[in-house]
Chains A and B, each alone.
Chain A
Amino acid sequence: METAYEIVIEETDERFFCAAGENILKAMERLNRKGIPVGCRGGGCGVCKVRVRSGRYSARKMSRAHVSVEEESNGIGLACRLVPESDLAVQVLGTMRKSVLAQIARTASAND
């Protein structure tokens, strides 16, 4: 069997397995699990931001607009760029920030 690490999302206690070499957002999506917001999957949009509470991982290049050097050295990263090297516990920091358009459209439809 190939190596897989268990990822736990602390707030919701959602658990899923991530194969060695795979990023944790992709593993979550592939198993149709929820908890971390999914955006571009390329380290660009920032919606999948997490704090790793425990475990080892490697991080691929991600947008400095969303993760500073300091944050990166403090265990913060974008889930689509984090590849586990052990079991991981993560806390979700990212949110799907609602655009003005999305907010207004939602209100307009609700008032229909």
Chain B
Amino acid sequence: MAQSSVLRPGHVSLRVLDMEAAIVHYRERLGLQEVDRDAQGRVYFKAWDEQDWFSVVLREADRPGMDYVGFKVVSSAALDQLEAELKSFGCKVERIPANELKHCGERIRFEIPTGHLIELYAHKEYMGNGLGRVNPDPWPEGLKGMQAQRFDHVLLYGDDLDTNLKLFTEVLKFDLTEQVVDGELKLATFLSCSNKVHDIAFIRHAEKGKFHHASFLLGTWEEILRAADLISMHDISLDLGPTRHGLTRGRTIYFFDPSGNRNEVFCGDYTWYPDHEPITWTADKLGKAIFYHDRKLNENFLNVVT
């Protein structure tokens, strides 16, 4: 239990095979707002209720997957301190100058034991949610598709969950909120730096550095159903749902972007407080832990990653 100087997942950079198709998916279907493009051809998006300039960056490449996920920290001083602590933990830390991603301050980037790249940064330009900060209306008009409210978390697959957990809890001061275990062996770890029940999660896997999904918040169960309708309307590749998770209690639907990266939209998990104790699921009840209604192991969900 600790208060982390890490605030939240602030951006994710995803590789896509076909940028035009990806833009239609993320802008028109998920309902993110396109906010910039850069000289490298990267396209930047934000969800409507986020305050900072962007939260999703797409890059065209010959293989899909995740380049990195970035977390915002409270201050430059906290960034410097975390850099020092990450180095003494044994991480190789790289400094990336301000504006390498447009509108973003200096970032530090390091590889975690599961082989994923994580970034931390203290500053990103303010854009606002379009409603202002004095007597605001509750939501903006003209939103598209699923009307995602914010980029919420990622789930990643990798091998060394134990050292990862040590790094996240001891250095970055995240809380372990839920886990799946088989005896002593940790199969899944859900981690929070905030009041959310997860800001990042990991599942044990033979290969390093795999991407399972990026998740976006919706408001209600009715909106999840509406997302499902849009998935059929536009012939989007459906993975699973709408349904309920045992883990985190979230109401959810999973689908794929046109390059095969998995997305989730969800709502209705619970509030985490740092004085809570983690919840444990046992491997024999994994079916129910993941999909509470189906109660069985879903091959696609468990094994398909980019």
Chain A residues packing against B (C-beta within 8 Å) = 38-45, 47, 61-66, 96-102, 104-109, 111-112
For window 145-182 of B, CB contacts with A under 8 Å fall at: 157, 180, 182
Given A39-B304, A99-B203, A100-B204, CB of A111 within 8 Å of CB of B284: yes
The minimal Cβ–Cβ distance linking A105 to chain B, given in whole angstroms, is 4
Contacts of A98 in B (CB 8 A): 302-303
Contacts of B283 in A (CB 8 A): 104-105, 107-109
In the complex formed, the residue of A with least CB distance to B185 is A104
In the complex formed, the residue of A with least CB distance to B256 is A40
Given A43-B260, A101-B203, A102-B303, CB of A63 within 8 Å of CB of B237: no
For window 231-254 of B, CB contacts with A under 8 Å fall at: 237
Contacts of B62 in A (CB 8 A): 61, 63-64
Contacts of A112 in B (CB 8 A): 284
For window 56-109 of B, CB contacts with A under 8 Å fall at: 62-65
B259 within 8 A of A: yes
**What CA separation (Å) do A109 and B295 show in the bound complex?**
12
Q: Describe A's contact surface by its main secondary structure.
A: loop
**What CA separation (Å) do A72 and B260 show in the bound complex?**
19
The minimal Cβ–Cβ distance linking B52 to chain A, given in whole angstroms, is 28
A-B contacts, 11 of them at CB < 8 A, read A38-B300, A42-B257, A42-B260, A43-B259, A97-B303, A100-B205, A100-B206, A101-B205, A107-B283, A108-B283, A109-B284
The minimal Cβ–Cβ distance linking A24 to chain B, given in whole angstroms, is 15
In the complex formed, the residue of B with least CB distance to A81 is B17
Contacts of A44 in B (CB 8 A): 17, 63-65, 256, 259-261, 306
The minimal Cβ–Cβ distance linking A27 to chain B, given in whole angstroms, is 14
Contacts of B64 in A (CB 8 A): 42-44, 63
Given A39-B304, A99-B157, A104-B283, CB of A45 within 8 Å of CB of B260: yes
In this complex, which of A62, A65, A100 has the most chain B Cβ atoms within 10 angstroms of its Cβ? A100
**What CA separation (Å) do A82 and B65 show in the bound complex?**
21
The minimal Cβ–Cβ distance linking A85 to chain B, given in whole angstroms, is 21
In the complex formed, the residue of A with least CB distance to B300 is A39
Cβ of B284 and Cβ of A40 under 8 Å apart? Answer: no
Cβ of B256 and Cβ of A41 under 8 Å apart? Answer: yes
Cβ of A108 and Cβ of B17 under 8 Å apart? Answer: no
